[in-house]
Structure 1
Amino acid sequence: MKIPSEFDPIRPFEPEELPAVYDRILADKQFQQVLAYLYPDVPKEALAQKMHACKTNLDFQKAFCYPFLQRLVTKLSLGCSIDAVNINTRNRYTFVSNHRDIVLDSAFLDKLLLDVGFATTCEIAIGDNLLSQDWVRDLVRINKSFTVERALHSVEMLRASKRMSEYIHFAIAEKKENVWIAQRQGRAKNSNDLTQPAILKMMAMGGEGTVIERLKQLHIVPLAISYEYDPCDYLKAREYQLRRDVPFWKKTAEDDMESMLVGIKGYKGHIFYKCASCIDEWLDTVDGEQPKNKLFDEIAAHIDHEIHCNYRLYPVNYAALDMIQDTRVYEEYYTPEDYQDFEHYLEGQIEKIDIENRDDKFLRTCLLTQYAYPAKNYIAASPENGRFKSLLNRLTFKK
């Protein structure tokens, strides 16, 4: 298949490009250190041979990524599963999900799609702010990632958004690949998962026809990702205090790398993915003649609802809801031991935060917010939980 050259700066590597890329990353000193850490007893020559035996990106994912992810699941979680009953493994979709972990949200999805019988994985949207090192940029493009260009001027941003949209349409329609993209730019640091209409506007720049027709060509599936524990929760809380206390504070590439490593190496408890139904049929019920902003807002709200009502909640989520409002309204969903264990967990996470003038009370609220918001949004989205909805307005969460 001939891929238009206009996509070259952002697309994943094609199979014929892989041998040269393998040689390039294998020669990188830092990547050699990564390999030595991951495969301490395997000679470099054997890894190089195994890598060059991977003739496609999917071969690489099956040979290297899948076993690595399986080890993570075994060592650092209580299991990772997906409910894909609402989708067809023979079709191709654009998965729009909430965003918790920089690396693992899409990586686990790749693994889980193979587990349930998909013939391929996903092409992954990844921000270029995370690709400051050459070997990382090469590795993610081997792993079927395409680049989201950020920090551009308005005219350049418009051009880049259109090219990315056209590439996503090309990946679905011509390459017959799935696509994963987060519902917003960056992770929701407070776990209040809301779709940015700008993401949908970008997606509708490609394709043909009306906005509704263009979005239907992408076969969007809202995807709810539920981690019991987020290893990066204390880093997100730390970021809140730094943004509050340090004028003009900005994250660095080192901060992003720390989040990636902590997310990968940290304990996650249970991990659950649930696919809502593809929104194609629902889109046929939407008034496509309404003002564009209202149209995108309505579609974003529908995706939010589908994500929120498909979370899997854990005792820590309900305990956090009660802790943040100083009640025991939800105690039927956790035991006294769950509550006490979560208190100890919060204390331990706060102790990991090493900054000047550490504000423990503020940081505790930030941590609680991250675990309470999924429960708050789930209750609000689920009709069967109506008896709790009147209580939600009392909650004061970090925005």
Structure 2
Amino acid sequence: MSQFDSIRPYQDSEVKSTLKRLINDPEFTSTLIKFRFPRARGAFLALTSFALRQVLKFKVRNVNKVYDFQVMVERYMAHMVKTTTSQLSSSGLDHLDLSKPHLFISNHRDIALDPAFVNYILHNNGQDTVQIAIGDNLLTKPWVADMMRLNRSFIVKRSASAKREKLANLKELSAYIQHTLNETGDHIWIAQREGRAKDGLDITNSALISMLALNKPKEQSFAEYISQLNIVPVSISYEFDPCDLAKANELVEQNEHGEYQKQEHEDIYSISRGIVGQKGQVHVHFAEPLSGEYESAKEVAEALDKAIIGNYQLMPTNWIALGDAIPEGIPANELANAKRYFEAKSRDVSAEVRSQLYAMYANPIKARQQLSE
């Protein structure tokens, strides 16, 4: 049994059995149907579930490897990009030696799409896809875990409460990441912090860097170990966030009541909303790998913040939300579209939610301005 069996992605030998388990899971098929037909019940749900299972069996009949599954997913990803974005662009890849495995650390705005866009861009540039770090808090259903691990996701165990167990999980994760980079030779994607930046402020949690360093040999310097990880800061910019109102409502509730109670499986619905919602322009920038004589996790986190915030592509929505002088060169029609977007979004919400909505879009500019001070 492998040292990392409890957290690693599924392997080729596990693909067929996992797909069979998924297709025969009534909750999996009914969930897919309810995304399209929310009120599906009784005989209609049973009939459509049966039909869906037959369709799925046909679609995956030739899926024997993880690569086959990802090729199938790529077709749906291409359709999503075509129908929900006005433009997907990238920059910085030409500065990377992708023959070496890299640890991509990005800002975190969307649960599923952040790594999906990184994967899609790498794939379209002739590169292998990344292994994706995903928190076990998202794996509320067995079928969700199966889907994620089929798509090369590995599990970050966050549910432990005892300190000893937490430390053991962190050490396992640190060892797995180093093993994957050095032995397997795969790229890895991980978010700069747990949870999405709902307020639009992309700040790296230095605890992430401390976790990465848990597997550092005693005789090796901290700076050398960090350098060998080939950490690439990644900035993912969305013109429109399909989950923006939900995020604004959550932040307002936290401010007013001190906490926010998530609904059951709320993250799964956020994933769905992010996938199907309109995103406008999306840009992904890959910075050069971190290099420096870093002496602490805090210094590495600050370097990540500087690169991620500094390379975030500011959108018309950011400038309209800020409300200050708008720089020249932004097309007037894009600014007008951004203004209409906010007018439509804030039409039926409270003043507090409206203020929070504008703030989350304005914050990337404010963060950039603070960098230059």
User: How high is the TM-score relative to the length of structure 2?
Assistant: 0.88
Contact conserved, 1:226 with 1:273, CA < 8 A, in 2? yes
Correspondence 1:35-54 to 2 at 5 A: 44-45=53-54, 47-54=56-63
Structure 2 CA distance for aligned equivalents of residues 217 and 372 of structure 1: 36
Task: Tell me by how many angstroms 1:233 deviates.
Answer: 0.7
Structure 1 position 211 matched with structure 2 position 212: no
Match of 2:363 in 1: 373
Structure 2 CA distance for aligned equivalents of residues 158 and 380 of structure 1: 35
Match of 1:151 in 2: 159
Task: Tell me by how many angstroms 1:172 deviates.
Answer: 1.0
Contact conserved, 1:242 with 1:249, CA < 8 A, in 2? yes
Letter in 2 for 1:249: Y
User: Cα RMSD between the aligned structures?
Assistant: 2.3
Quick one: which of 212, 222, 236 aligns to 1:225? 236
Match of 1:315 in 2: 316
Structure 1 position 91 matched with structure 2 position 100: yes
Structure 2 vs 1, CA of residues 53 and 321 (structure 1 numbering), >3 Å: closer, same or farther? same
Letter in 1 for 2:345: Q
Deviations 1:163-220 (A, max 9, x none): 0111111111111111000001101111110111000001111243332233223211
Quick one: which of 214, 235, 259 aligns to 2:270? 259
Match of 1:109 in 2: 118
Structure 1 position 270 matched with structure 2 position 281: yes
Structure 1 position 19 matched with structure 2 position 33: no
Which blocks of at least 5 consecutive residues in structure 2 are unaligned? Answer: 37-47
Deviations 1:93-122 (A, max 9, x none): 11000001001001111111011121x101
Secondary structure of the 2:328 match is helix
Structure 2 vs 1, CA of residues 247 and 307 (structure 1 numbering), >3 Å: closer, same or farther? closer
Deviations 1:340-373 (A, max 9, x none): 54343223223566xxxxxx22212211121112
Contact conserved, 2:317 with 2:339, CA < 8 A, in 1? no
Secondary structure of the 1:237 match is helix
Match of 2:140 in 1: 132
Structure 1 position 8 matched with structure 2 position 17: no
Structure 2 vs 1, CA of residues 347 and 186 (structure 1 numbering), >3 Å: closer, same or farther? same
Number of aligned residue pairs: give it: 355
Structure 1 position 56 matched with structure 2 position 65: yes
User: How high is the TM-score relative to the length of structure 1?
Assistant: 0.83
Structure 2 CA distance for aligned equivalents of residues 109 and 350 of structure 1: 31
Structure 1 CA distance for aligned equivalents of residues 326 and 112 of structure 2: 32
Task: Tell me by how many angstroms 1:296 deviates.
Answer: 1.2
Match of 1:296 in 2: 297
Letter in 1 for 2:244: D
Letter in 2 for 1:137: A
Contact conserved, 1:184 with 1:194, CA < 8 A, in 2? yes
Structure 2 CA distance for aligned equivalents of residues 297 and 333 of structure 1: 37
Secondary structure of the 1:54 match is coil
Structure 2 vs 1, CA of residues 301 and 248 (structure 1 numbering), >3 Å: closer, same or farther? closer
Structure 2 CA distance for aligned equivalents of residues 321 and 251 of structure 1: 29
Which blocks of at least 5 consecutive residues in structure 1 are unaligned? Answer: 289-294, 354-359, 383-388, 390-399
> Percent same amino acid among aligned pairs?
33
Match of 1:386 in 2: none
Correspondence 1:352-371 to 2 at 5 A: 360-371=350-361
